[in-house]
Amino acid sequence: MIRRRLWKQVLAAMVLLLSLVLGLLILGYQHVTAINFGIYQNQRNRMVHHHMVGLLAKYYVHHGNSFIGVQSLLAPMSGLAPGPVEIISTHGHIVGGTTPPGPVLHAMRRHLPIQVGNHAVGQLVWSAAPHPEPLAIPVGFLSMMNHSLIMVTLIALIVAIILSYGMARSIVRPVETLTEAAQQIASGNRLESVNIARQDEIGALGDAFNQMVHHLQIQNRLRETLVDDVAHELRHPLTHIQGYLEAMLDDKIPLSKDHVTTLYHETQHLNRMVGDLHRLAQVQAGTMVLSQQWYALDAVVEQVITMLQPYASKTGGVQLEMEGARDWPKVYIDPVRTREILDNVVRNAIQHSRPGAWVLIRGTANDDCVQLQVQDFGEGIPLDAMPHIFSRFFRIDSARSRAKGGVGLGLAIAQHLVQRQGGNISVRSRIGQGSTFTLTFPRRTS
């Protein structure tokens, strides 16, 4: 059960963060405004004083190089000047000042020369405020700004909440979809992929989830078909055994050694099937332990030929022959498992050869791999059977194959075992002309 919804947590975190940022902004704003206002005032004062100096210089020239009566010029300027000013002649006498006159503090005295041409004819003197003071900002202006700021902040907060909600939902929605799909799988109901059209980490999570679903679907299908296949394969020998036993019990056939031998062969077949199925399951699940080593494939071929020669002679006098040079480079294989693979391929070739025919085994090597070909000149494999030849329990003529003790698992196991060793197995065949199985083993380990 979900106690704390993720989207609520995301939303709360965003609102908290925003409130913090906006709060800090409001606090910092007054300070920054005060400083900027002070700077602005200073700049404005400097401009006013420069302007005044220009006007005073003009006055001096127009009044015959004299400041007499300058007070009449300063009177209308009083409102303009940021504070009390004084005009001091070159002799150091105060010749005028703003009205109402005020003392020009000595501590922070500033002055600008009144220039006529290159000559200073006097000085404009004023006192600069020690610091730009926040109090200097008009109170009405400040409260208006505060009001506007609070309004803007509120609007920003509302917009931010709406946006954060949308964002939080858009993050959480695919997570909810994934959770629901995973719960369905966990409860064994549905095995469905999800549609998450995103390019970010959540999209990657969706892709990984879909891959997992795909894998599980394949596994399920395999499991279902495996159970069907096994049931189907077991039915035939079991029916056979049951039929014989019933007939013997009903005294329809005698309890002879021949009949018991038939039953014994059926149980042998069943035993082999169970053993092969177990091996197939192990190699498919990757739990079969391989002990790989650098090994010469020609040695494996020789062992298989020696082992199968008596069987080939018995089966219509088929002849096994190893063709070509023997100096194949070593490959990284499990010799025991590779012998099993080759045993099945060569045994198949013998079984499907005409009496007295050859089965040729040849090896070729290049920089990348060593290839082993097993060629027979037998009946060949029909085209429509080719795609299924490595499927478990597949037999072209199941009755005939079963009669020869074939389970139909040999090539399926061989394919998985070769692939586990980094190689592959393929087949070419022509009806009536024979088949060639090619096993490829890489010369490098990955």
Ligand X SMILES: Nc1ncnc2c1ncn2[C@@H]1O[C@H](COP(=O)(O)OP(=O)(O)OP(=O)(O)O)[C@@H](O)[C@H]1O
In this structure, are strands 358-365 and 319-323 parallel, antiparallel, or unpaired? parallel
CB of 258 to ligand X, least distance (A): 24
DSSP category for residue 117: T
Q: Which of Mg ion, ligand X, none does residue 358 bind (CB under 5 to 8 Å by kind)? A: none
Q: Which of 124, 277, 349, 369 binds ligand X (CB under 6 A)?
A: 349
Give the span between the Cα atoms of 192 and 65, in whole angstroms.
101
- In DSSP terms, 113 is beta-bridged to 123
Contact 233, 269 (CB under 8 A): no
Stretch in the footprint of ligand X (CB under 6 A) among 108-116, 169-177, 255-263, 405-413? 405-413
Q: Which stretch binds ligand X (CB under 6 A): 22-30, 79-87, 193-201, 373-381?
A: 373-381
Alpha-carbon separation of residue 173 from 9, 162, 170, 180, 206 (angstroms): 14, 16, 5, 11, 12
411 binds ligand X per the rule CB under 6 A: yes
Q: By CB under 6 A, which span of 1-9, 122-130, 220-228, 404-412 interacts with ligand X?
A: 404-412
Distance CA 389, CA 232 (A): 18
# binding residues, ligand X (CB under 6 A): 22
Count of residues in the chain: 446
Which residue among 6, 394, 426, 442 contacts ligand X (CB under 6 A)? 394
Tell me which of 401, 416, 417, 425 binds ligand X, using CB under 6 A: 401
Region of 105-113, 118-126, 390-398, 402-410 interacting with Mg ion (CB under 5 A) = 402-410
Structure tokens at 434: 């024979």
CB of 362 to Mg ion, least distance (A): 20
Applying CB under 6 A, does 371 fall inside the site for ligand X? no
100 three-state secondary structure: coil
Determine, following the binding rule CB under 6 A, whether residue 407 of this chain makes contact with ligand X.
yes
- Largest Cα span, the chain: 159
Q: Name which position in 344, 373, 375, 415 contacts ligand X (CB under 6 A).
A: 344
Query: Does the protein bind ligand X through residue 206 (CB under 6 A)?
Result: no
The one-letter amino acid at 58? K
The single-letter DSSP state of residue 383 is: G
Q: Is 392 helix (H, G, I), strand (E, B) or coil?
A: coil
Q: Per CB under 5 A, does 348 bind Mg ion?
A: yes
344 binds Mg ion (CB under 5 A): yes
- In the complex, residue closest to Mg ion by CB: 410
Contacted by 338, from ligand X, Mg ion, none: CB < 5 to 8 Å by type: none
Q: Could you tell me the two tokens for 14? A: 């965003």
- The count of C-alpha atoms lying within 13 angstroms of the C-alpha of 429, restricted to the half-sphere facing its C-beta, is 23
Shortest CB 270 distance to Mg ion, Å = 17
Q: How far apart are CA 409 and CA 411, in angstroms?
A: 6
> Of these, 378, 410, 422, 423, which contacts Mg ion (CB under 5 A)?
410
E strand or H helix that includes residue 366: none
When asked if residue 338 is in the footprint of Mg ion (CB under 5 A), the reply is no
Instruction: Please check whether residue 219 is in contact with residue 286, taking contact to mean a CB–CB distance below 8 angstroms.
Output: no
Distance from CA of residue 96 to its chain's centroid?
Answer: 82
Within 269-328, the residues that bind ligand X by CB under 6 A are 276
Stretch that binds ligand X, among 52-60, 188-196, 302-310, 410-418 (CB under 6 A): 410-418
Neighbours of 187 (CB within 10 A): 8
Q: Which helix (H) or strand (E) holds 19?
A: helix 6-62
410 interacts with ligand X by CB under 6 A: yes
272: its two tokens: 């082999």
Q: Which residue, 348 or 371, is less far from Mg ion as judged by CB?
A: 348
Contact region with ligand X (CB under 6 A), list: 62-70, 127-135, 231-239, 372-380: 372-380
Contacting ligand X (CB under 6 A), which of 280, 352, 371, 417? 352
**Close Cβ partners of 327 (under 8 Å, ≥ 6 residues apart):** 298
Site for ligand X in 421-440 (CB under 6 A): 435
**Contacting positions for ligand X (CB under 6 A):** 276, 344, 348-349, 352, 376, 378-379, 381, 389, 394-396, 401, 406-412, 435
**Contacting positions for Mg ion (CB under 5 A):** 344, 348, 410
